[in-house]
Amino acid sequence: MNVLVVGTGYVGLVTGLCLSMHGHHVTCVDQDQAKVDALSRGISPIYEPGLEDLLQAQLQANQVQFLSYVPTDVIIDIALIAVGTPSMATGEADLSAVFAVVDELARTLPPHCLLATKSTVPVGTGTRIEALLRSASRSDIRVASLPEFLREGSAINDTLNPERLVFGVNDAETEQQLRSLHAAIEAPVVVCDRATAEMIKYASNAFLATKISFINEIANICERVGADVSKVAQGMGLDSRIGASFLRAGLGYGGSCFPKDTRALVNIAGQVDYDFTLLRAVVEVNQRQRLEPIRRLYEWLGDLQGKSITLLGVAFKPGTDDVRESPSIELARELEAAGANIRFCDPVVKQFHDNGRHFEVTDDPFEALHHADAAVLVTEWPQFIKLDWTQAAKQMRQLFLFDGRNVLDPGEMEAAGLILSNIGYRPKHTYAVV
Ligand code: UDX
């Protein structure tokens, strides 16, 4: 098939390249000319394992091309919208990029195309797109919802081997076309109407975020009653009704999806006069959780004024260079406001901007820890877990270490001379669970 993908972020780029691997002819469009130029030369603007190799292979095979405009001289069977839907101040998803694309596609798409949304869009957006197309005299274009569930860091594998496909369609022809587009993928397909598909995406992300906030609440209670949250999660997760995934206590969820989508779903509910009490609490718990280390830093250091604190990890999770809604950045803002000096370390992120300020990041943990009064492990990169902590401790002025992801072995840290605290109580010795 001939596929047009608009937007070359994590979702658009990975989707486009994976579809091209399946033999479809793909045109990826992005308004950012510099990005298009880099992609056309085989350079990926984002860090995602395996992505650059895949890009170069598909360019070489002539299966994909990158343009800064929607072409009118290329056959297109299906157009996918994969542009950003960031949060507005109200929590509502900003759909201006989506509607700008629809406007352009109404003028450029060939007759009887299928238009599907990959971006996470509020329930009812498909119907609004249909109305826009009708007012532009383009009722010939059919509209579908095709939500994406890929995770950054494993985006290619998630796209090639999804656990399910969701087709939000209003007619059998569209369903058939989407089945053909995904013919190479073996996965259960949920066929439903558009509003239901749009809700599946939000409900999935909101549920996973709920699991994370739930285990973080349990962790905070564990710390106070002397129970080990890692074992609690293990003991809970073996119940197949609960499941083991997304029960890792830590500094909460970040990234481009969970924070934005949970806020948006609270807003969607509010617009139909429904107070989504549970999800509001999930958001609030997450907000509080990312600042957990601060309480301990005050206990350790008293005043934070002039103290040197190292944040290990800037990416919102390992395996990505994405810093959107990263706990590290929020933690740094609070610590700076308390007068602390912050140094950042990350194996992939080299620099970032926050509130118009530029921050440098070193990839050398020893350099970052030099003369530090305390360190907080924010992102569980393997480089930090495997670090020679005895050597690391020698760099530090004071030996306080907060493990915000519960990945460091308390016995090993003690042997290195470090004073360790983590999320929820984690004892030095436990009996192995069989
Ligand atoms: C998520 C969804 O998983 C994906 O289906 C959707 O399409 C986009 O949002 P992503 O944001 O890439 O993907 O990362 P994910 O691995 O799901 O982690 C999200 C956040 O939750 C991270 O900040 C991670 O650190 C945190 N997390 C995850 C926990 O704190 N504990 C866990 O047990 C799992």
Blockwise average pLDDT, block size 10, the chain, 434 residues: 97 98 97 97 94 98 97 94 92 93 96 95 95 97 97 95 97 97 97 97 98 98 93 97 97 95 95 97 97 94 96 96 95 97 97 94 98 98 98 97 95 96 74 46
| C-alpha 91 to ligand 1 mean position (Å) | 19
| C-alpha 380 to ligand 1 mean position (Å) | 13
Cα–Cα distance measured from residue 380 to residue 404, given in angstroms and rounded to the nearest whole number: 8
pTM of the entire structure? 0.94
- Which pLDDT score, from 0 to 100, does residue 434 have? 40
Residue whose Cα lies nearest atom 16 of ligand 1: it is: 151
192 is catalytic: no
- Which pLDDT score, from 0 to 100, does residue 16 have? 98
| Structure tokens that stand for 398 in this block | 């004071």
Cα–Cα distance measured from residue 13 to residue 27, given in angstroms and rounded to the nearest whole number: 10
Q: CA 240, 245, 249, 255 torsion: positive or negative?
A: negative
Q: CA 318, 322, 325, 330 torsion: positive or negative?
A: positive
Cα–Cα distance measured from residue 29 to residue 300, given in angstroms and rounded to the nearest whole number: 52
- Tell me which residues have their CB closer than 6 angstroms to ligand 1: 148-152, 205, 208, 212, 246-248, 250, 252-255, 257-258, 316-317
Residue whose Cα lies nearest atom 24 of ligand 1: it is: 253
| Ligand 1 atom showing the smallest separation from residue 320 Cα | 12
Residue in the structure block whose two tokens are 């352009």: 104
| Structure tokens that stand for 208 in this block | 């996973």
| C-alpha 246 to ligand 1 mean position (Å) | 8
Cα–Cα distance measured from residue 148 to residue 155, given in angstroms and rounded to the nearest whole number: 10
The dihedral region occupied by 331, where left means phi > 0, alpha psi between -120 and 50, and beta the remainder, is alpha
CA nearest 313: which of 353, 354, 357, 365? 365
- Which pLDDT score, from 0 to 100, does residue 428 have? 60
